[in-house]
A = this chain, B = another copy of it.
Amino acid sequence: MIDYNKIISEYSPDKTEREKLKRISSGIIDKINLICKNENINAFPVEVGSVSKKTNLKCSDIDIFITFDKKYSKEFIEKKGVEIGHKILNNGVEKYAEHPYVSGTVDNIKVDIVPAFKINKGEKIISTVDRTPLHTEYVNENTDEMKIKDILLLKIFMKTVNVYGSEVSKSGFSGYLCELLIIKYGCFDNVIKKFAGLKGKLIVPEDKTLEKKFEEPVIIIDPVDPTRNAGAAVSIENLSRMKIASKLFISGIDVFNLKNNEMNKINKINRGTIIKVFSLKKPDIIDDIIYPQAVRLKNKIWEIMYRNGFIPLSWEIDIEHDIEILIECERDTIPLVSVHMGPPAESDESLKFINVWKNNKRLIRGPYILNDRLYVDIRNKYVKFEDVFNNEIKSMDIGKNIDNLKNDIKICDVDENIPMNVVNKFYLKSLFND
């Protein structure tokens, strides 16, 4: 039997950490209240995020929202929010999500101070962050000590199998989704049972008609806004991983200790393929914006390889330092000749096809007839991948932050010993390592 309490205590903050977090957030809230009173601003600080819901694991951040009365303008609350943030966090820097906000540290704890509008339940939100205080309220109203333990356990489970985290490059389950799942299914074991037996999409509440409304693989209606799919960010791979992990757990495998398990053995052997890494310097923009462009670039390279016969096999992306895209393909040189299919012999285009090709310098053989059609064997313009790529990448639209960098893409052939994140990722790929 797995001792859930032992796992929870291993990953959760101890009393000292908890008291420290409480002390810091209370201090910040008091300061913000004082500033608002002094400046006669109708705004209230509110702690949000996992700490405020007691569902935080070790080393959590503190998130404090300043909720302004709706009478203020967007411009005002952004300006005033950042101003207050800087007053409180003397090492704070301005960051941008939908709004600007201030991020800094207090006693080595990361603190974000974010301006938002104060929205009451059922009211329409103005910016997406306005929902967050309502999430905190909902979770606090619907959890107790038992459920909080199971939320922690589910978070730990998801971290272990690498499906936890809502950043775009992860596309996993957020903390809020873990909370909603425990609230819905009652306890950790029920959530695992649900995933282990799940066919197709995860839909909460279990209403098949939602499948028509939302196309994502995980559909979890946000209780504070029934028009929103809180599970929209979860990828099909991470849903599949949770299905497998849950099946393994139910079959008796100690998934919590999987990292030490033989299933993650590394096999850095020669694969007899061509492995290319495309790298470019990461622009100074947040990862959630860069990552989708890196995926788009990967898709373009894959498509060029596929269409030109280099036979791509697998890929990896890493954007921790540079943008690194690895693509493994079966070859980097194609034959000189391509078999090019023409129209059916009976078609009105057939004589035109013959005339076009018979004097073409690229003609190697033909025109000839196979079955009911004309064919020619023609010379490929480029046979080396680098030449094909350089020719095609020029005219490709990747995304506004990468487009002007695309001429600086470096391509290198790698062996298994090159020290790049993306190469390690590639060789380490396993069930719960992606």
CA distance A434 to B371 in the complex (A): 12
This protein's copies in its complex: 2
Interface flag for A330 (CB, 8 Å): yes
Complexed CA–CA distance, A131 and B429 (Å):
71
User: For the complex, is A296 an interface residue (Cβ under 8 Å from B)?
Assistant: no
A366–B273 alpha-carbon span in the complex (Å): 17
Given A243-B345, A251-B351, A271-B377; A339-B313 close (CB under 8 Å): yes
Which residues of chain B come closer than 8 Å to A247, judged between CB atoms? Answer: 350-351
Q: Say whether A272 contacts B383, CB under 8 Å.
A: yes
Q: Are B354 and A431 in contact (CB under 8 A)?
A: yes
Within 8 A of B (CB), among A297-317: 309, 313-314
> A331 at the A/B interface (Cβ < 8 Å)?
yes
Please, how many angstroms separate the alpha-carbon atoms of A271 and B366 in the complex?
Answer: 13
Cβ-defined contact, B363 with A431, below 8 A: no
What distance in Å separates the Cβ of A379 from its nearest Cβ neighbour in chain B? 8
Per the bound structure, the CA–CA distance linking A247 and B433 in Å amounts to 62
B429 touches A240 (CB 8 A): no
In the complex, what distance in Å separates the CA atom of A90 from the CA atom of B350? 53
0/1 per residue, A378-390, Cβ < 8 Å to B? 0000010000000
A263 to chain B, nearest CB (A): 6
- Which residues does chain B contribute within 8 Å of A239, judged by CB atoms? 372
Chain B residues whose CB sits within 8 angstroms of the CB of A295 once the complex forms = none
Contact of A241 with B369 in the complex, beta carbons under 8 Å: yes
User: Chain B residues near A335 (CB, 8 Å)?
Assistant: 271-273, 313, 330
User: Is A269 interfacial (CB 8 A cutoff)?
Assistant: yes
Q: How far is the CA of A239 from the CA of B372 in the complex (A)?
A: 8
Given contacts A267-B364, A313-B339, A351-B248, contact A240 B369 (CB under 8 A): yes
**A388, chain B: closest CB distance, angstroms:** 14
Chain B residues closer than 8 Å to A236, beta-carbon distance: 371-372
User: B residues within 8 A CB of A217?
Assistant: 372
Are B430 and A368 interface neighbours, CB within 8 A? yes
The distance from the CB of A291 to the nearest CB of chain B, in whole angstroms, is 18
Closest to A334 in B: B330
- Could you say which of B241, B267, B331, B373 contacts A363, with CB atoms under 8 Å apart? B267
**B198 and A346 contacting across the interface, CB-CB below 8 Å:** yes
A44 within 8 A of B: no
Residue among A239, A243, A244, A251 with max Cβ neighbours from chain B (10 Å): A244
Residues of B within 8 A of A309 (CB): 330
Cβ A263 vs Cβ B358 within 8 A? yes
Bound form: Cα–Cα A355–B371 in Å: 47
Q: Which of A240, A241, A273, A363 has the most chain B CB atoms closer than 10 A to its own CB?
A: A240
> Which residues of the other chain, B, contact A364 by a CB distance below 8 angstroms?
267, 269, 271
Which residue of the partner chain B has the closest CB to A217?
Answer: B372
Residues of B contacting A263 in the complex (Cβ-Cβ under 8 angstroms): 354, 358, 367
Taking a contact as CB atoms under 8 Å apart, the answer to whether A241 and B271 are in contact is: no
Q: At the interface, yes or no: A199 with Cβ under 8 Å from chain B? A: yes
Min CB–CB distance A129 → chain B (angstroms): 32
Between-chain CB contacts (< 8 Å), 18 pairs? A200-B346, A236-B372, A240-B344, A240-B345, A240-B371, A240-B373, A241-B369, A244-B374, A263-B358, A263-B367, A271-B337, A272-B336, A272-B383, A314-B339, A330-B335, A354-B431, A366-B429, A369-B434
A interface residues, Cβ below 8 angstroms from B: 198-200, 217, 236-237, 239-241, 243-244, 247-248, 251, 262-263, 267, 269-273, 309, 313-314, 330-331, 334-337, 339, 344-346, 350-351, 354, 358, 363-374, 377, 383, 427, 429-431, 433-434
